[in-house]
Amino acid sequence: MNAGLDIGYSHVKAISGERRVHFPSVVGTPDKARFSLDGNANSIILQEPQAVAVGDGAVMQSRFLHRREDRRWIESPEWYALALAALTELSTAHWCELRLVAGLPVAFFDDKALVRDRLLGEHKARRDGRGGQVFKVLDCKVIPQPFGALLAACLDDRGGIVDKDLATGRVGIVDVGGKTCNLLAVHRLSEISRETASVSAGAWDAVRGLRDYLAREYPDLDLRDHEIIEAIMARSLRYYGEPVDLGPALDAILEPLAEQVIAQAGQLWNGAANLDAILVSGGGALLLGPYVTRHYKHARTVADPVFANAVGFWRFAQRLAGQ
């Protein structure tokens, strides 16, 4: 099996063929509902190598949550639990051999060997209600996260090049994540390092800004971070059963974030006139993409921006397997 794995500070995305995985990057205590009509069907509870709840189940049920935003989290048990949970979502087989392509933010790309070493080899996992599984990662390639969006646009599901203009051109990628916004410039699918950087702005800044707003205006609400993300994406929430329009508050929060990203991109790319195209990707593209595409006439938000990096990783894995 070939798979793409994108473990972000906000969400984990993974893909292998038609199988897609998407859940919050949250690990918590392994609590679960005592009664549920769906039998906790959406919960991911790992029993081995450690007993933890992962993703939506942790957000809803866990008494205590672990969500990190620091660079060293890739060395943590929480990061490893997220990786294992994604693999158990991709396959229910007792034994699964796979080749992985994963990503790292451009600012942390020097840690690629650490990620590769953590993912290579055999991994044992056991989920609640399921027998033990062994995942053997035969090969793992780690690339800068924004490359995924470009590869998703350039390659087909077999790894063949379908957009020669993007593959041979000079392209900028604005990849808006949870903690950082990665700015990557590429020429003929090779990074232009002097035109690549990270901006410390992302979806979690919007979460913190909206949390402060809600604390002032709707003090009786007590929402967890990923519940606030859902409210941001919906641009609304309910307060004592009544709908609340969050549009004006979000515009006041998002516009300064977008200006920061656009200013940094302008400095790196000298106005971006020499770029053939600018691609906007990542979960935060749904928030900041409209501002970027209004500023740059040759910018566009990629198809399925939330999954774009993971799709590109998987298609690159397909290409590597066929070589």
Hey, where are the domains in the chain?
2-143, 147-202+259-310, 203-249
Same fold, 2-143 and 147-202+259-310: yes
pLDDT at 187 over 60: yes
pLDDT tens track for 124-150: 999 888 889 999 999 999 999 999 999
Correct CATH for 147-202+259-310 of 3.30.70.60, 3.30.420.40, 3.40.50.280, 3.20.20.80: 3.30.420.40
Distance CA 231, CA 13 (A): 20
Average pLDDT, the chain: 90
Distance CA 52, CA 296 (A): 44
Which among 113, 114, 148 has a CA at the least distance from the CA of 8?
148
Residue 202: pLDDT band with limits 50, 70, 90: confident
Residue 323: pLDDT band with limits 50, 70, 90: low
Which of 37-41, 139-143, 188-192, 215-219 bottoms out in mean pLDDT, i.e. has the lowest? 37-41
Q: Are strands 95-104 and 132-144 parallel, antiparallel or unpaired?
A: parallel
Domain 2-143 CATH assignment equals 3.30.420.40:
yes
Within 10 Å of residue 323's Cβ, how many Cβ atoms?
5
Answer yes or no: pTM beyond 0.85: yes
